[in-house]
Amino acid sequence: MVDLDSNPTKLIEIVEIGKQLLITRGALTTFSIANDVAKYFAIIPAMFAVVYPGLDKLNIMGLASPESAILSAVIFNALIIVALVPLALKGVQYKPTSADRMLRRNLGVYGLGGLIAPFVGIKLIDLLISLIPGIG
């Protein structure tokens, strides 16, 4: 139950907060799905490279070894969770625009960001891990 304090304009604020929550949930979901798809390009070839040597062709990122690929993906996953906490707590800023324009913007920012960030992040972490003797 919400008390409007006899002020009907508070109803508009409640609707805006609801929209912001919906947009934030959609942005986080879009980023997470795109992020998972990209991480699979690091993990799947590494997991099955020993059993199916032909899967080495799927190692499009050129990761050092299966061990470093999986370790890099796990480290990246931990870092991205920490990085997304502020977004989840603060939320995506709501701007009154058309649904089509907002969808295109959020897919561009969070969808493409979710696809590109893992490739760059996992590769950089793999480069650092490959410098450690005994791992890479």
Torsion of CA 97, 24, 117, 128, to 10 degrees: 150
Rounded Cα–Cα distance for residues 41 and 119 (Å): 9
| 46 domain residue, yes or no | yes
Structure tokens given for 72? 């890099």
Task: Express as a percent the part of the chain with pLDDT over 90.
Answer: 39
Q: Rounded to a whole number, what is the distance in angstroms from the first to the last CA of the chain?
A: 57
User: Does the global pTM surpass 0.85?
Assistant: no
| 1 domain residue, yes or no | no
Domain holding 123, by residue range, is 8-131
pLDDT at 8: 76
Domains in the chain, number:
1
pLDDT tens digits for 42-99?
888 888 877 888 877 778 888 888 888 889 999 999 999 999 999 889 988 888 889 8
| 3 domain residue, yes or no | no
